[in-house]
Structure 1
Amino acid sequence: MSIQCEVKSVTPLACNTYRILLTPSQPVAFKAGQYLLAVMGEKDKRPFSIASSPCREGELELHIGAAEHNAYAMEVVEAMKAALENGGTVTVEAPHGDAWIRDDSDKPLLLIAGGTGFSYVRSILDNCLSRGVSQPIFVYWGGRDLCQLYAHDELQALAAAHTNLTYVPVVESAPADWQGKVGNVLEAVSDDFVSLSAYDIYLCGRFEMAGAAREQFSAEKGAVRERMFADAFSFI
């Protein structure tokens, strides 16, 4: 469905990441974990996870990592800024994606994100917390450095407020006083879990990361492939 959206705000977060708030001209019925397409042209439609939960009516939130060398994302941010400054609108198509939260399952949840793939995890996490789910939720978020984990403090606060939520940050390059894990986020998961056979697993990151997770976790940790969800699986 094609939808016109007013750009409510474009806010820099950290490490060339922007939070964009959109007000759609009509209600958007989507499931936590789905994505939208930012329409840049008739044949140019660019996917971004919806970071907000469906329970936030009347607003769509995006997190876009747009370093200067990443023209694909930076052009979208610039288009959003232009619409904000000029009082114009942007066009999106939504919803898309099959890796939405299966809310009829009571299995413990493992949510894995790389970089701005956290926007996908954020929608699912917000949805689960707002519904008051009681099963354990593990969030593993990996980045090159702490700067990339732009919601680190927020997640620490959420984990402190919800006894069933465990947040594990993983960085490749750590400051001297870093108390968390260092290295690859998939390796961190493998180190922490003897078996993943009982878990629903949701992940978002680069295609190669998603593919490696599916093969590694199913072969080495007993993960059930049918209970692993990522939009990347539709393309690899």
Structure 2
Amino acid sequence: MMGHSVALNFADGKTFFISVQEDELLLNAAIRQGINLPLDCREGVCGTCQGQCETGIYEQEYVDEDALSERDLAERKMLACQTRVKSNAAFYFDHSSEMCHAGETLKIASKVTNLELVSESTAILHVDASSYTKQLEFLPGQYARLQIPETEDWRSYSFANRPNPDNQLQFLIRLLPDGVMSNYLRERCHVGQTIMMEAPLGSFYLREVQRPLVFIAGGTGLSAFLGMLDNIAEQADAPAIQLFYGVNQETDLCEQSRLQAYAERMPHFNYQPIVTQSSETWTGKTGYIHQHLNRDQLAEQAFDMYLCGPPPMIEAVKSWLDEQALSNYRLYSEKFLQSNSARIALDA
């Protein structure tokens, strides 16, 4: 009997996918598959196995009011020992995965299939991860760590496409003047070369879509949104989506034809490229993304905002939101550091 695919997300940024049968308690399914969620009473009283449902449909059996309040329940907090899932779902647990003795994330030997220069400063690395014989599951917006061949160095990059049965994966990578990965891509990368990959990772990912979305991408922060848009485009009823895409110069813009293709598939999707340093040929918007946000438009209805890019961009947008005194949004963000060796994901 086929089960539901359930993502268990933890505070240390690790995600594990498990299969849960229709009549199976979430806690039992996790333990059966080697993820020992903290537990005590197993009767819905102590609250030890508490988490929060981020996407999907679920039902709970008995939940004592001392374990979860009415407000907790309204916020989709749940007890794993009392939860039965009714669809594919994702749950967040506010503790390290190490508490569950869940082991390591997957490490996969992938092969380079193509290196595509998509702007003067950006490339898409295509890899074949089919050495992992199952479909690699990850949430739209998550990332993988890639080991630069012939070194001990690892760098982190967001998936730029959705999971697929053949495990053909893409990563949007900024080419730095003297970066370890950048030098490898320019000088030594060739088709067929092995790149070790660790995945999935990250707490920045697309939550259940229940209202309009505002995506704000800085530079190669676009990569996470390409993965999200790939996923949303497959849905029957895509929501209203605004994408603001900021780069330094017009020549840094990439994947414009792909974004246009999304717009043709999703009537309520529109994107706005914004260039910080305009040239004589640039006829679009110039400046910083927060300067082009429209308070009146955003205030019309509740929305979810996702930010991915360099820290100054994210802080500028957050400051703008504070100044506008808006309260009708949920905010999720991930800061990219220049080396791409680390990132910080924040929810607000």
TM-score, normalised by the number of residues in structure 1 = 0.85
Task: Flag the 1:132–1:214 CA change in 2: closer, same or farther, 3 A.
Answer: farther
Contact 2:174-2:220 at 8 Å conserved across structures = yes
| Counterpart residue number, 2:144 | 36
| Counterpart residue number, 1:127 | 231
Task: Flag the 1:184–1:11 CA change in 2: closer, same or farther, 3 A.
Answer: same
Contact 1:190-1:221 at 8 Å conserved across structures = no
Q: Give 1:174 deviation, angstroms.
A: 3.0
Write the distance in 1 (CA, Å) between the matches of 2:346 and 2:180: 19
- 2:285 paired with 1:181: yes
Letter in 1 for 2:228: I
Contact 1:194-1:221 at 8 Å conserved across structures = no
What SS does the aligned partner of 1:210 have? helix
Aligned runs of 1:5-154 on 2, under 5 Å?
Answer: 5-24=110-129, 25-26=131-132, 27-40=135-148, 44-55=153-164, 57-67=166-176, 69-78=177-186, 81-82=189-190, 84=191, 87-102=192-207, 104-154=208-258
- 2:338 paired with 1:230: no
Task: Flag the 1:132–1:112 CA change in 2: closer, same or farther, 3 A.
Answer: farther
Aligned runs of 1:145-224 on 2, under 5 Å?
Answer: 145-176=249-280, 178-190=282-294, 193-195=297-299, 198-220=302-324, 222-223=326-327
Contact 1:63-1:119 at 8 Å conserved across structures = yes
What SS does the aligned partner of 2:234 have? helix
| Counterpart residue number, 2:12 | none
Task: Flag the 1:221–1:149 CA change in 2: closer, same or farther, 3 A.
Answer: farther
Contact 2:295-2:324 at 8 Å conserved across structures = no
Q: Comparing both chains, which one has the higher relative contact order based on Cα–Cα distances under 8 Å and sequence gaps of 6 or more?
A: 1
Write the distance in 2 (CA, Å) between the matches of 1:78 and 1:64: 12
Pick which of 5-14 and 161-170 moved more: 161-170
Letter in 1 for 2:159: I
Contact 1:33-1:123 at 8 Å conserved across structures = yes
What SS does the aligned partner of 1:135 have? coil
> What RMSD over aligned residues (CA atoms) do the two structures have, in Å?
2.7
Task: Flag the 1:187–1:70 CA change in 2: closer, same or farther, 3 A.
Answer: farther
Contact 2:146-2:157 at 8 Å conserved across structures = yes
TM-score, normalised by the number of residues in structure 2 = 0.59
Larger Rg: 2
What SS does the aligned partner of 2:233 have? helix
Write the distance in 2 (CA, Å) between the matches of 1:36 and 1:10: 17
Q: Give 1:133 deviation, angstroms.
A: 3.5
Write the distance in 1 (CA, Å) between the matches of 2:183 and 2:328: 38
Task: Flag the 1:56–1:126 CA change in 2: closer, same or farther, 3 A.
Answer: farther
Write the distance in 1 (CA, Å) between the matches of 2:145 and 2:188: 13
Kindly tell me the number of residue pairs found equivalent between the two proteins: 230
Write the distance in 1 (CA, Å) between the matches of 2:139 and 2:166: 12
Task: Flag the 1:117–1:192 CA change in 2: closer, same or farther, 3 A.
Answer: farther
Q: Give 1:153 deviation, angstroms.
A: 3.3
Give a deviation string over 1:3-37, Cα, whole Å, max 9, x none: 11011111111113111111112132101100111
Write the distance in 1 (CA, Å) between the matches of 2:115 and 2:186: 10
Write the distance in 2 (CA, Å) between the matches of 1:229 and 1:105: 13
